[in-house]
Amino acid sequence: MTMLATKTAAPVEPAAPKRKSLARRLVPYGYLSPTIVLIVVLMVVPIVMVISYSFRDNVIVQDNSVFAGFANYTKVLTDPDFLAAIKNTAIFITVSMVAHLVLGLAFAMMLNTELLGGVTKAIFRIVYILPWLFTIAVIAVIWRLLLDPAGVINYVLHSIGLINEGVNWLGDPGKALWAVTFINIWSGYPFFMISLLAGLQGIPKDLYEAAAVDGTNWFQRFRHVTLPQLRPVIISMAVLDLIWTSQQFALIWMTTGGGPLNTTEMLSTYTYKQAFSEYEFSTASAAAVIVLLLTMILAFFYVRQQRER
Amino acid sequence: MIAVAVAVKTKRTLAKSGVLAGLIIGGLFAGLPVLWMLSTSFKGNGDVFQNPPKLITSTFSFDAYSEILGNGTQLRYFLNSYIVAIAVTLLTLLVALLAGFAFSRFNFPFQKTINAVIVSVQAVPPITLVIPYFGLVVGLGLYNTYAGLILTHMVFTLPYAIIMITAYLNTLPKELDESVKVDGGTGWTALWRILVPISVPGLIAVGVYTFMISWNEYLFALTLTRTDDMRTVPIGIQMLMGQHSYEWNQMMAMSILGSIPVLVLFLLFQRRFIGGLTAGAVKA
């Protein structure tokens, strides 16, 4: 999604004298001023605020906050709930990302087939994009309905003999994390699919023709043409997906709320609860800064990957 | 020769059936949950967990929809979502257009730095921002107001809009603006008279995406509003879940009504929209 916006523009008036007046040099900043004000208010100031909160006690709820050093960080990093949240988040984002990639690639390749007509493919494409068009609040209620102990998924699994009684997928500590991960897989694969489809359409046809002349089979062409050609798209999508999924809050909050017994607690729900359920804004801020640092590490890999391309 | 041709044709038919079967299985995975939501919204609430489940039950009706549409509180959620999303879209387009014009048509000190900051804003986790936003919005007296939501939603929409609009303006030749300057006009005139009118397709694509982000936003809407007269649709769906845990038909009807604006926008602008999206993701 990110791309560098600047392309060095040619001087507007090549014949103009070299020393522009101060007023003229300020013109571009004039156009940028609303953006700069918004970035400062919405980005720079809040980040400074959250970092300063994280080193103080009694912030927001009381007027007289005091400097606390690293106490909030020690508290968060030794909190078993926070460590559980790190583990859950790691499982949630890794499994989601791998499944998004596999499903996205499989669906994109089927939609890119030359064996079927354009109209058929267009209809399937809309169906395949559907999950991505619903807001997370809607996705949460749909899956609460489907996964209800008396719901249709349990009915089907029971009918084919896989289970004996209705399973409470979102309420069973051993299953809830897998259930929310499954929901996230369903809601997130279309974005991979769309990007990989565009990537597939960009692979030159003569690469496949040359491979076919060499007498390769389908799998060899997939391994030696398709995958290497898609590699840059796959890597950047994977890192972006890890970043986005690690920020997932609404889905967890509206399906399990982090429960049962913290088994689906994520870094986002932990931080939210500290702030808006416990009113411990100082510890919440420390957790929020840790989340920011972890994201920055992922973003660093993303930027480095972009540079290499 | 004929035998070979027949063999090739059979192989092709087989491959075609295989792909079609795969597409149908995938399509069921993608589409059945949505179909079930639609079907449940037309059921009487007593039939939601009917055994065996049926797509259309004997209690088929539009009652759940009329319940939602006849309820002032729910209608207010929709009004709020429209007000916020439309305001966010217009403001984002205006601010991003000015910024995109600066990036596309000028060279100035710190251009790269400012651009890098705008790009990096996209990676900052909302959960990190929501805590200081709460302090900030309360401090500015914007808690539980449209202004507070509109302002904070722009942190999500502005970076993407600036990047896309800059890229779009870069595709328009600079000679276009020159013609205005020859006639004594300024950059400002060139922007509004020449560039904006021919950028309408690009602006629509960015606008649709911006609207979607704001319409769907959950965390800030949850945290920065408190009363029913300020809540938006995603929170409204959650409130429905809290109040009447078992009014599944109404929850599904509200979900469908809440998804219609985005579905309509998507279907209308599908091609342009996917094009813009993948241009961002693939070229990245």
Q: Could you say which of B216, B222, B283 has the minimum Cβ distance to residue A3?
A: B283
| Domain shared by A128 and A65, yes or no | no
A275 touches B at CB < 8 Å? yes
> A57 pairs with which residues across the strands?
A66
CA atoms within 13 A on the CB side of A219: 0
Q: Are A110 and B25 in contact (CB under 8 A)?
A: no
User: What integer best gives the mean pLDDT of chain B?
Assistant: 88
CA A174 to chain B, closest CA, distance in angstroms equals 24
Its pTM stands at 0.89
Maximum distance among all Cα pairs of chain B, rounded to whole angstroms: 83
Is A112 domain-assigned?
Answer: yes
Regarding whether A147 and A37 lie in a shared domain, the answer is no
The dihedral built from the CA positions of residue B137, B138, B139 and B140, taken in this order, carries a sign that is positive
Please tell me whether residues A46 and A132 are part of one structural domain. Answer: no
Evaluate whether residue B176 is within a structural domain: yes
Q: Which of A42, A72, A102 is the last residue of a domain?
A: A72
Give the integer Cα–Cα distance in Å for A134 and A187. 8
Which A residues in the span 163-222 are in contact with B, Cβ-Cβ below 8 Å? 186, 190-191, 194-195, 197-199, 202
Which domain range does residue A48 map to?
Answer: 22-72
Mean pLDDT of A109-131: 90
Q: What is the largest CA-CA distance in chain A?
A: 85
Task: Clarify whether residues B134 and B211 are in a common domain.
Answer: yes
Task: Find the mean pLDDT for residues B45-64.
Answer: 87
Asked whether residue A8 carries a pLDDT value surpassing 50, the answer given is: no
Let me know if residue A274 belongs to a domain: yes
The answer to whether A1 contacts chain B (CB < 8 Å) is yes
Decide if pLDDT at A305 tops 80: no
Q: Confirm whether A303 is domain-assigned.
A: yes
Instruction: Please report where in the chains the tokens 């999206």 appear, as a residue.
Output: B277
pLDDT at residue A85, rounded to an integer: 96
Tens digit of pLDDT for each residue in A85-96? 999 999 999 999
Q: Which helix (H) or strand (E) holds A127?
A: helix A118-133
Q: pLDDT class for B274, splitting at 50, 70, 90?
A: low
Residue with tokens 């039939």: B47
Count CB-CB contacts under 10 A for residue B53.
Answer: 19
Q: What is the mean pLDDT of residues B28-56?
A: 91
User: What is the tens place of the pLDDT at every residue in B74-122?
Assistant: 999 999 999 999 999 999 999 999 999 999 999 999 998 998 889 888 8
ipTM here = 0.89
In a domain, B177, yes or no: yes
What is the total count of domains within chain B? 2
Cβ distance of B23 and A137 shorter than 8 Å: no
- In this structure, the answer to whether residues A79 and A61 fall within a common structural domain is no
Facing residues of A66 across strands? Answer: A57
- Pick from B122, B131, B136: CB nearest A288: B131
CATH number of the domain at A170, please: 1.10.3720.10
Predicted confidence (pLDDT) at residue A83 exceeds the cutoff of 80: yes
Are B36 and B165 in the same domain? no
Residues of chain B in contact with residue A237, where contact means CB-CB under 8 angstroms, are: 281
Q: Per the structure, how many domains does chain A have?
A: 2
The residue count for chain A: 309
Verify that B31 and B116 share a domain, yes or no.
Answer: no
Query: For residue A164, is it within any domain?
Result: yes
Whether residues B158 and B22 share a domain: the answer is no
Is the minimum CB–CB distance between A271 and chain B shorter than 8 Å? yes
d(CA B121, CA B276): 20
Query: Looking at the structure, do residues A66 and A91 belong to the same domain, yes or no?
Result: no
Asked if residue A171 and residue A45 are part of one domain, the reply reads no
Instruction: For residue range B161-202, list pLDDT tens digits in order.
Output: 999 999 889 988 888 887 777 777 778 888 888 889 988 888
Those of residues 79-138 in A touching chain B at CB distance below 8 A are 103, 106-107, 110-111, 113, 115-116, 124, 126-131, 133-138
Answer whether B216 sits within 8 Å of A302, measured CB to CB.
no
Asked if A268 and A123 sit in the same domain, the reply is yes
pLDDT in tens, A15-66: 445 556 888 888 899 999 999 999 999 999 999 999 999 998 877 777 777 8
Its sign, for the CA torsion A124, A126, A127, A132, is positive
Choose, out of B131, B208, B283, the residue to mutate when testing the contact with A (most A CBs < 10 Å).
B131
Indicate the angle between helix axes A281-308 and A267-276, nearest 10 degrees. 150
Residues in A touching B85 (Cβ below 8 Å):
none
- Which residue segment(s) compose the domain that B35 sits in? 2-41
Which amino acid is residue B168, in one-letter code?
A: Y
Q: What is the DSSP string of A63-118?
A: S--EE-TTHHHHHHHT-HHHHHHHHHHHHHHHHHHHHHHHHHHHHHHHHT-SSS-H
Phi, psi of A67 (to 5 degrees): -70, 135
State the pLDDT at residue B145. Answer: 96
Q: Which residues pair with A56 in a beta bridge?
A: A67
Portion 83-142 of B in contact with A at CB < 8 A = 94-96, 98-108, 111-112, 114-115, 117-136, 138
Residue type, B16: K
| Per-residue model confidence (pLDDT) at position B275 | 63
In a domain? residue A121: yes
Helix (H) or strand (E) holding A66: strand A66-67
Beta carbons of B33 and A142 less than 8 Å apart: yes
